[in-house]
Structure 1
Amino acid sequence: MFRNRGGGRGRKKPSSSKKKEEIKRILVDLTEYKTTQCCGISYYNPFVQFYYYMRKMIIIYGWPLVFMIVSVMFGVKGAMIGLVGSSGLPYAQKYLKLSAIEMQKYGIVASFPWTVKPLIGMISDGVPIFGYNKRWYIAASSLIGSGAIYFIATYKFDRSNGLYYIAGLTLINAQVAIADLLTEGKYAEAMRYNPSHSASMVSYVWGNITLGGILATVLSYIALKDENYHLLFWMALPFAVQCFLTSASGLLPELRVKRSKKGEVVVDDDEDDDDDEEEDDGMGPSNAKKSVTFADSEEDEETKKAKREKRSMNMMAILMGIICVVIAGIQIAGLDETTVLAITSISCLLLSMLIYFFLPRQLAKATFFLFITSVLSVSFGGAMTYWFTVDAKCNPGGPHFDYVYFTVYTSIVGQCSGIVGIWLFNIFFSKGSLRKAFWISSVISSLGSFFDYAIVKRWNVDYLSIPDKAFYMFGDAVLESIVGMMAYMPSVVLIAKMCPKNLETTMFAILASFANLGGSLSGSFGTFAMDYAGIKTDLTSGSCNWDNLPNLILICGICLPLLAIPLTFIFVPNILMTDTITDFDNSSKKVGDKYVTEEEKKSLIK
């Protein structure tokens, strides 16, 4: 299913047993190579390891999916969004003259497409374009994103037309969110069929994102050094365009679908003979036909149940979309912060109710954990970013980091730390407990905020005589990236294990979007916290106030993330990274914990 058909309808594809034998042969070759040397090249040579790693990934998942991940994750989510992100701070401070609170609010609006992923997944699953659920959605969004990048690259912005800039960023984020979601749906589906290699896929995906980010950081140096901020968007444009080319050419593996007489989206009969899973299941042509048309009464009942499940998820996606619009709308509506806090709190409560109303108990618990831990990490990034980078008039005695240092140098260190995080995850956590992985990420997150607390209190200068740049570089810049890896990877593994068969894209979107929504709510709560703490950053008049920033860091940055540790005992299943849902159900019986009801074992969705 995850390979291009390439040879047409009559071409026979390798069976599942042959595929497993090929993987086993590669692993045997790798084991033998460990004890040998070829032309003086040891197995421990990183190039040799990379060769075998890529060879294994292509055999397991197929080269089209492997290289489409490079196009989307490296090219778009890594390089393109990295270049666009590097422009955010200069545009906000130099052109738009935004305060820290305004910058954070507009950031929530610009990230709106990430929070409506369920709607995107619902539409792509139910409304194929030219017979494909993913290909042309990625291609169309890539064209729109490319147009938005060109617009920002050529337009001159000031405080009076800042909403145009935010609109352009929103369209760019729409391209990244759509391409990311639809690719995620495909590799999540692949991971479900290859659970023992799920950690390898997660590492591969995040590795591409990290390497793309490193490239973006290096390219950003050219524009930031010369203060040519529009150049960042010109550099991002080719990465947006290449995604259109790869998606339009059909590199992402997917079967062509069509509308049945009943109006349902079904696999095109002309494509049935090419489906790998039919051969893997040992089904002949007649049985394969029945699997598509659901001829017998038992399958008709399963079809009705699937329709009910899909309607339930669609309703959930629509309600989530409405809440997302409200959250984004209140950021630019000019409401007072108390009203914003009330609406944000109500939205948080409604989203929590949606989780437990539409999802079965175990799936709801995992989803709620990802959601609530994101909310509890109350974001005040706008205040910290401004404290580090504003001039002496706004922050006397502050670090006054320039854009090249703050965006380029620290990002390079951060990206390299991200690679270290990937390595640590693979070595120590890829086969370990999900709970422990979340514990470690929470502790490191609090430790990173402690470095922020120390530098704001000026301890590094007054007591340790460590310059600001060195203290920040080897403290917060390193730990923040490792936290991102250690939190992201177990979350993806957990989500992938929960995705039900044949609904990967929509379900993955719903679960992932709750985490994104948690981030938006965290930012909204953060704007209230900054306003309540009296943080002021008026770049026009130079009137600023940072008196309560240390208290903000102590409460929101150090203490609140640690609440995730006790929550894991309630909401995260006590399973290993390599366990499947079946393994989890069996382990639940052994330890006597009733994690999953009998009905939930039959279906992960109501």
Structure 2
Amino acid sequence: MTRSQNSRRMCKPSHNAVEADNGAQPKVMTPGGYVHPEAAPLFAKCPCIRKIPIFGEAVEGYGPKVIVALGASYLLCKGIADQILTGQTYAMMIDRYKIGVPRYQRLSSISTMGWSIKAFTAMLCDGFAFLGYTKRWYMFISCVAGGAFALIYGLLPAKESSADVAAAFIFLSSWGKANVDILSEGHYSRLMRQNPKPGPSMVSWIWFWIMVGAIIAVIMNGPLADAGKPQISIFISAALQLLTCVFFLFNWYGEKKNRVLRSEDALYVLEETRKERERLGVVACTSGEESCVYSADAGAAVSLEEVLGDELVQGSLSRGRPDDEGEEFSDGTAVAEGEVYYGKPPVSCLFGLFEVNTEVICLNWRIFVYSMIMTSAVIGMLSANILAGTLGLLIVCVVVSTICCATSFWALPLVIAKANVFCYLQMTVYIRASSPLYAFYLNSNGCEGDFPNFSYSFYNTVAGVIGNVAGLVGVTLFNALFSKHSYQLTFIVTTVIQVMAALFDIIIVKRWNKYIGIPDHAMYIWGDAVVVQIVYMLGFMPLVVLMSRLCPRGSESVVYALMAGFANLGQSTASSLGAIIMEYGWPVYSNDDPCNHDNLPLLLFVTSVCTPMLVIPLSYLLPMARIIDDVDVDGNVVRQKVGENVVGMVAAASEGSSSERSSQEAVAAPQGHS
């Protein structure tokens, strides 16, 4: 078969060879549209299932097994297990390990660091398929290892020396959950690209169970912490994370093997290329002569190059392939009958244990290097928080921020790099002083005087449930209030409101609410659990939309993971800066004077009122566009059909989850204005 004949065969939309290799079932079409082969017999036996809101449409498009597996895994792993692990950190560290408030301020940031390196996981898994799969077995190992780390964390002896080791195990267990999250996002994003219509229902189904899991977690955490048994929550978290591995052991996600997916990608890109040629009037040659190209107008070829200038397409088309099926490349890499690839096929190594997707690594090598730099930065931050002195931690924060921000401009397009730096700095300038606030509200040191003396059941459970509801209200209000305004105006307004909302904590700390007759519980519920959470979501949603808009075609998942992970690193940096300020200038609940919180109002004023105002000038790093506008990688507003715009937004936004996870943590376990 000649090269031109092979090219024509590859451009055909038929996927028979790929489906045959994967054992795929034929598609079922009904007068109402596509119905998944596994859903058709289920609907025939139980027609009522099809009428269930959200679930019915999702099952119709993707099948019952994958929808149930996605909902259950997100409920167990990201919903309950993760919220339990992070929500009980304070009770474990302060009440069980008996460390001081300043020490907890350092260690608290470690719980979010595992979510900062999931871009590295995404690149590693895409580049090196394990046992024939790019996701399945990595998620299985992450669940087993993450559950084991959580179990060891819960079994550590109840003494102060266990705190540092416990922080490391929290990081490792959280990393396992983050791996499941990002790889699951990559899997269902692929499903949504293949069948976009029921995509919004699938995303809604997933987030429904995440929210249910968060509520279950906060209901569980409070009473157990009050009973002096926070470690029981950790054991439950370990068991649920371990249980999630069952879905990957039996491949309920229905993930296809790596070689099948690579073939599907090649066919998809070639089909899109054919459609663009037809639209622009460029007809590929069929006689085998390289110079035989016809264009309907003189500018069509140039337009085609611009339209298809995506790195994935350009890189793929620039690489050769064997002329005939079944031949080998010069390095001995074999191409099996019926397989189609752009460039070289996956290369087996270590006796077939791994398959190296060299094309993926070569096309995204800058992003791969940047993800390793971020991973090194996270490990450096983790080590500094545990081991370094105050000056050493400050130096590490400055070095990490400088290197990661600078390399962002090297690894990413300019507009994406500027947005990436903004997401990091926007989180960093909201310096987090959650540890002294916890100690004040809960009176953890048993100090005498006028304190709120909240119980864990109220602070975590009651306020957590109300905060979840308030967060949903914030999401709804965002669409109505800010969707048609520019990013700059949105961040200016939300920043001013967030700064005003931060005054609730200062009012309670200064006890001014008592002077006007408002009880502490009512003031806190109305302030931190309602207003602060609504405003937090109003400021968080523009980041989700922005990252969704800017992710380039063909690299959506990994670029989104990079930006979300960098934003999470900003949160960790903010906690570290809070610890530095407390250790250098304004000690609160220090080891020498564990009941002295005289500096707390000033600390809150600087960290929650003054430094967040820096977001306003930083917002001009973002594209000068409205939130509803679609923005290309050059920062220009582009116009799309409404249907394409909506589907693209839902598909991209569904991949948010480290920043999404940050919002979940803030809503499910309120920690004051942090």
Q: Which residue of 2 aligns with 1:311?
A: 365
Q: 2-side partners of 1:84 and 1:184: how far apart?
A: 21
Which letter does structure 2 place at the counterpart of 1:480?
V
Q: 2-side partners of 1:190 and 1:435: how far apart?
A: 34
Q: Which residue of 2 aligns with 1:36?
A: none
Which letter does structure 1 place at the counterpart of 2:246?
L
Q: Which residue of 1 aligns with 2:319?
A: 300
1:256 aligns to 2:275 (yes or no): no
Gapped regions of structure 1 (runs ≥ 5): 24-46, 259-265, 288-292, 590-606
Which letter does structure 2 place at the counterpart of 1:312?
R
Q: 2-side partners of 1:141 and 1:74: how far apart?
A: 16
Q: Deviations over 1:483-518 (max 9, x none)?
A: 443344332332233333443443222121111111
1:532 aligns to 2:584 (yes or no): yes
Q: 1-side partners of 2:76 and 2:634: how far apart?
A: 36
1:406 aligns to 2:459 (yes or no): yes
Q: 1-side partners of 2:585 and 2:447: how far apart?
A: 17
CA contact (8 A) 1:223 1:229 kept: yes
1:211 aligns to 2:209 (yes or no): no
| Matching of residues 27-426 of structure 1 within 5 Å | 51-58=52-59, 66-188=67-189, 205-258=206-259, 267=261, 298-300=317-319, 308-335=362-389, 337-391=390-444, 393-394=446-447, 396-426=449-479
Judge which range, 553-562 or 195-204, deviates more.
195-204
* Higher relative helix content: 1
Q: 1-side partners of 2:514 and 2:544: how far apart?
A: 40
CA contact (8 A) 1:185 1:504 kept: no
Q: 2-side partners of 1:130 and 1:155: how far apart?
A: 34
Q: Which residue of 1 aligns with 2:659?
A: none
Residues 272 and 533 (structure 1), Cα distance of their counterparts in 2 relative to 1, 3 Å cut: closer
CA contact (8 A) 2:54 2:204 kept: no
Q: Deviations over 1:161-195 (max 9, x none)?
A: 22332232122212211111212333455667889
Q: Deviations over 1:325-362 (max 9, x none)?
A: 21111111241x23321221122111110111211111
Residues 68 and 445 (structure 1), Cα distance of their counterparts in 2 relative to 1, 3 Å cut: farther
Q: Deviations over 1:259-280 (max 9, x none)?
A: xxxxxxx7466x789x888888
CA contact (8 A) 1:185 1:508 kept: no
Q: Which residue of 2 aligns with 1:263?
A: none
Q: Which residue of 2 aligns with 1:560?
A: 611
Which letter does structure 2 place at the counterpart of 1:525?
L
1:512 aligns to 2:555 (yes or no): no
Which letter does structure 2 place at the counterpart of 1:472?
Y
CA contact (8 A) 1:199 1:426 kept: no
Deviation at 1:213, TM superposition (A): 0.7
Q: 2-side partners of 1:297 and 1:112: how far apart?
A: 35
CA contact (8 A) 1:141 1:175 kept: yes
SS in 2 for 1:128: strand
Larger Rg: 2
Residues 402 and 341 (structure 1), Cα distance of their counterparts in 2 relative to 1, 3 Å cut: same
Q: Which residue of 2 aligns with 1:500?
A: 552
Gapped regions of structure 2 (runs ≥ 5): 1-12, 37-47, 276-283, 285-311, 321-341, 344-357, 641-674
Let me know the Cα RMSD of the aligned residues.
4.1
Residues 582 and 174 (structure 1), Cα distance of their counterparts in 2 relative to 1, 3 Å cut: closer
Q: 2-side partners of 1:408 and 1:521: how far apart?
A: 27
Q: 2-side partners of 1:142 and 1:393: how far apart?
A: 38
CA contact (8 A) 1:153 1:233 kept: yes
Q: 1-side partners of 2:213 and 2:429: how far apart?
A: 29
Q: Which residue of 2 aligns with 1:571?
A: 622
CA contact (8 A) 1:95 1:157 kept: yes
SS in 2 for 1:536: coil
CA contact (8 A) 1:188 1:496 kept: no
Q: 2-side partners of 1:528 and 1:18: how far apart?
A: 64
Deviation at 1:471, TM superposition (A): 0.5
Residues 389 and 294 (structure 1), Cα distance of their counterparts in 2 relative to 1, 3 Å cut: closer
Deviation at 1:205, TM superposition (A): 4.8
TM superposition score normalised by structure 2 = 0.71
**Residue 507 of structure 2, aligned match among 442, 454, 460:** 454
Q: 2-side partners of 1:428 and 1:10: how far apart?
A: 45
Q: 2-side partners of 1:297 and 1:355: how far apart?
A: 24
Residues 397 and 199 (structure 1), Cα distance of their counterparts in 2 relative to 1, 3 Å cut: farther
Deviation at 1:320, TM superposition (A): 1.6
Which letter does structure 2 place at the counterpart of 1:363?
I
Judge which range, 319-328 or 56-65, deviates more.
56-65
Q: 1-side partners of 2:315 and 2:590: how far apart?
A: 69
Q: Which residue of 2 aligns with 1:476?
A: 528
Q: 1-side partners of 2:430 and 2:32: how far apart?
A: 44
Deviation at 1:468, TM superposition (A): 0.9
Which letter does structure 1 place at the counterpart of 2:244?
C
Deviation at 1:124, TM superposition (A): 0.9
Residues 437 and 78 (structure 1), Cα distance of their counterparts in 2 relative to 1, 3 Å cut: farther
SS in 1 for 2:244: helix
Which letter does structure 2 place at the counterpart of 1:469?
H
Q: Which residue of 2 aligns with 1:546?
A: 597
Identity %: 24
Q: Which residue of 2 aligns with 1:290?
A: none
Q: Which residue of 2 aligns with 1:261?
A: none
CA contact (8 A) 2:431 2:607 kept: yes
Q: 1-side partners of 2:463 and 2:586: how far apart?
A: 28
Q: 2-side partners of 1:437 and 1:154: how far apart?
A: 46
Deviation at 1:220, TM superposition (A): 2.5
Deviation at 1:553, TM superposition (A): 1.4
Q: Deviations over 1:549-597 (max 9, x none)?
A: 21221221023223323433332451434736499745499xxxxxxxx
Q: 2-side partners of 1:203 and 1:578: how far apart?
A: 23
CA contact (8 A) 1:76 1:239 kept: yes
